């Protein structure tokens, strides 16, 4: 785990503990804001401190001198005195419950003071026996929501969102790649398949077996390792932050077979091995064999070729028809990670983002983008700094000013416009007409409400280009609103409305199965990071990975278009509606 995430989590946890202890809201908010800034910082906070010292930390937005000193203390010593002092006053088991939606520090404090709750088991007991529902401010409905959230979190026990694991795995792989002993290195398992949640993380290395020990030692001695679980000649296991990462070194002649085997999925591998048996072959992690003779396994291509197939991209390996498609020669040509021309959902300081328009333009230019749609929240979303009409127009003028100085990149005037309860939009049409890109979204709904009709009506509006995060789910936190996704997809096809795969790591919404259904209907997908900080723009990889799992091809993706073609597509949508 990079120090940014590590320090951000410490500050966030400190804020939770302080709120539990009854600290002033001002101090709690200060720690939470600093945590968000550090987690979203594109630059390594340790490198920033080494270059500029304490002043470099103090100059970060939302980080005052007191918090900067605590961060510096942690960077220098690996400890934070304030954190240790506060955490000693709070039952650790209870703080873990703050990961459960609907359970906040005040809820825990009330259960602690009035019901004697000291552990997770205590809390579950008072939920089930009705004690919690009798406290002021609670009731059967609120407690039922907490009960359902506890079950949802338990169902994901041991797995974390892909996006939380991604930066750590990427850094480990880069460090291994530069070792002279390493011939090849790949992550494997559900991570390589870009599944939305991952369990233990597997990394596979190709090397001569005599070099295995040195590679394992380099792995277990990486700076983020908090605990070494195993360290041998060809295998190692360590805890990086909260993640368990396992490494395995295999010889070059077996690397392809091992990579295929450890990538999975289990169902895909079973299907593949059944095909092999029909041909009198055996596929294992060591290679492809006819009786005792190895006939392949150095590359994954050799493994698939042995059973009459072309190589199948890892994201498709779920035994959901990909093997049959390969047999027919009809595998899709999946959208590639480097084919995205721009990000169509980014927030700025005008609403609840932390980056200025200039900073977004600079970051996008560095990424090689042709455009970015700056889609701040609309006026009804007051909790997220939604823009009134005058502020939106001011932002649009600023975008025009900045665009005049840009070369090869353009900021698009966008807005994430709320779909109101009656299906109307949060801005009048004359305001929407001034925008380059309108992505409509549901943010507020009743728990028992089916929002399908709201979204259907919004798609009939000629100024709505796309629907953001169509199901509203947050991975491991909430299931989303009630919505008929297939009906939304059919309406999108009818009206020419684009549907978003939101790449924010807790959303990935549309998910892979819905994305595949949208493709089957001929609906065009738009990819956006929903980035609120520059440091979140990398999450486009998560959006693309989800699209690839949904069999989505380049021609199915709106922002695989160059700027001129994108502009024509946006005009066409309005004229079609």
Distance CA 243, CA 226 (A): 10
Would 182 be classed as within a structural domain?
yes
Asked if residue 429 and residue 392 are part of one domain, the reply reads yes
Q: Is the dihedral of CA 180, 181, 183, 189 positive or negative?
A: negative
Helix (H, G, I), strand (E, B) or coil at 526: strand
State the total domains in the chain: 4
380 CB contacts (<8 Å, ≥6 apart)? 386, 418, 420, 426, 444
Q: Is residue 484 part of a domain?
A: yes
Residues 431 and 299 in one domain: no
Domain boundary among the residues 331, 358, 393 is at 331
Q: Are residues 95 and 196 in the same domain?
A: no
CATH number at residue 266: 3.30.210.10
CATH code for the domain of 22: 1.10.150.110
Q: What is the pLDDT of residue 146?
A: 82
Residue 56 inside a domain? The answer is yes
Q: In order along the chain (577 residues), what is the average pLDDT of each group of 10 residues?
A: 76 88 87 84 82 89 88 89 87 73 80 85 85 83 79 65 92 95 97 93 96 96 88 92 90 97 95 96 96 95 97 97 96 97 97 93 96 97 93 98 96 98 96 97 90 97 97 86 95 97 96 96 98 93 98 98 96 77
In this structure, the answer to whether residues 520 and 555 fall within a common structural domain is yes
pLDDT of residue 1: 42
The owner of tokens 């721009």 is 342
| Rounded distance between C-alpha atoms, residue 93 and residue 132, angstroms | 18
506 and 534 both lie in a single domain: yes
Domain assignment of residue 170, yes or no: yes
Cα–Cα distance measured from residue 501 to residue 546, given in angstroms and rounded to the nearest whole number: 8
Confirm whether 540 is domain-assigned: yes
**Could you tell me if 501 and 438 lie in one domain?**
yes
Q: Are residues 463 and 324 in the same domain?
A: no
CB contact at 8 A, 231 and 160: no
Cα(379)–Cα(326) distance, integer angstroms: 49
Q: Which of 217, 250, 283 is the last residue of a domain?
A: 250
Together in a domain, 304 and 362: no
The predicted structure's pLDDT at residue 101: 67
Question: What's residue 254's pLDDT?
Answer: 96
Query: Domain range holding 88?
Result: 3-135
Burial 544-562 (b: 16+ CB within 10 A, else e): bbbbbbbbbbeebbbbbbe
140 part of a folded domain? no
Which tokens go with 446?
A: 């009743």
Angle between helices 65-77 and 25-40 (to 10 degrees): 50
- Angle of helix 3-20 relative to helix 45-58, nearest 10 degrees, comes to 50
Q: Are residues 298 and 422 in the same domain?
A: no
Q: Do 347 and 490 reside in the same domain of the chain?
A: yes
Q: For residues 354 and 323, state if they share a domain.
A: no
CA separation (Å) from 6 to 151, 218, 493?
27, 21, 44
Same domain membership, residue 508 and residue 400: yes
CATH (domain of 167): 3.30.460.10
The answer to whether residue 54 sits within a structural domain is yes
566 Cβ contact partners less than 8 Å away, ≥ 6 residues apart: 341, 342, 371, 558, 559
Asked if residue 76 belongs to a domain, the reply is yes
* Residue 445's CATH number: 3.20.20.140
**How high is the pLDDT of residue 148?**
77
Tokens 């019901």, residue? 115
């Amino acid at each position: 785990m990079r120090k940014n995430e590590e320090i951000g989590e410490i500050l966030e946890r400190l804020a939770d503990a302080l709120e539990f202890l009854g600290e002033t809201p001002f101090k709690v908010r200060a720690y939470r804001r600093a945590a968000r800034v550090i987690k979203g910082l594109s630059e390594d906070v340790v490198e920033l401190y080494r270059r500029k010292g304490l002043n470099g930390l103090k100059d970060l937005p939302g980080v005052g001198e007191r918090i900067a000193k605590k961060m510096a203390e942690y960077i220098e010593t690996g400890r934070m005195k304030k954190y240790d002092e506060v955490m000693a006053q709070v039952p650790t088991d209870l703080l873990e419950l703050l990961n459960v939606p609907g359970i906040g520090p005040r809820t825990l404090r009330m259960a602690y003071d009035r019901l004697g709750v000291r552990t997770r088991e205590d809390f579950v007991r008072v939920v089930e026996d009705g004690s919690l529902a009798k406290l002021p401010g609670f009731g059967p409905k609120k407690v039922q929501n907490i009960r359902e959230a506890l079950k949802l979190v338990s169902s994901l026990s041991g797995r974390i969102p892909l996006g939380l694991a991604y930066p750590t795995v990427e850094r480990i792989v880069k460090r291994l790649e530069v070792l002279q002993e390493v011939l090849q290195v790949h992550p494997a398992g559900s991570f390589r398949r870009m599944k939305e949640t991952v369990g233990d993380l597997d990394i596979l290395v190709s090397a001569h077996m005599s070099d295995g020990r040195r590679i394992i030692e380099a792995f277990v001695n990486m700076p983020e390792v908090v605990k070494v679980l195993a360290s041998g000649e060809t295998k190692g296991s360590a805890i990086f932050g909260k993640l368990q990462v396992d490494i395995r070194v295999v010889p070059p002649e077996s690397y392809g077979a091992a990579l295929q085997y450890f990538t999975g999925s289990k169902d895909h591998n079973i299907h593949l091995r059944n095909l092999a048996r029909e041909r009198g072959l055996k596929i294992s992690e060591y290679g492809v064999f006819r009786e005792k003779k190895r006939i392949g396994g150095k590359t994954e291509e050799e493994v698939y070729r042995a059973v009459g197939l072309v190589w199948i991209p890892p994201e498709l390996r779920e035994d959901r028809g990909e093997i049959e498609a390969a047999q027919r020669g009809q595998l899709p040509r999946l959208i590639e990670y480097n084919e995205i021309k721009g990000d169509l959902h980014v927030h700025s300081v005008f609403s609840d983002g932390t980056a200025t328009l200039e900073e977004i333009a600079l970051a996008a230019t560095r990424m090689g983008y042709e455009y970015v749609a700056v889609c701040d929240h609309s006026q009804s979303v007051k909790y997220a700094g939604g823009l009134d009409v005058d502020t939106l127009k001011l932002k649009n003028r600023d975008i025009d000013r900045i665009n005049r100085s840009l070369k090869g990149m353009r900021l698009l005037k966008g807005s994430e416009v709320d779909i109101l309860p009656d299906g109307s939009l949060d801005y009048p049409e004359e305001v929407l007409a001034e925008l380059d890109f309108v992505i409509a979204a549901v943010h507020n709904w009743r728990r028992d409400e089916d929002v399908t009709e709201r979204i259907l009506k919004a798609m009939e509006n000629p100024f709505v280009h796309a629907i953001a995060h169509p199901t509203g789910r947050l991975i491991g936190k909430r299931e989303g609103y009630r919505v008929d996704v297939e009906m939304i997809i059919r309406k999108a096809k009818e009206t020419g409305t684009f549907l978003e795969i939101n790449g924010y790591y807790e959303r990935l919404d549309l998910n892979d199965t819905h994305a595949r259904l949208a493709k089957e209907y001929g609906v065009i997908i738009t990819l956006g990071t929903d980035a609120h900080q520059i440091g979140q723009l990398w999450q486009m990889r998560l959006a693309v990975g989800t699209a690839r799992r949904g069999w989505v091809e380049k021609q199915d993706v709106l922002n695989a278009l160059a700027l001129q073609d994108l502009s024509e597509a946006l005009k066409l949508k309005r004229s079609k509606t």
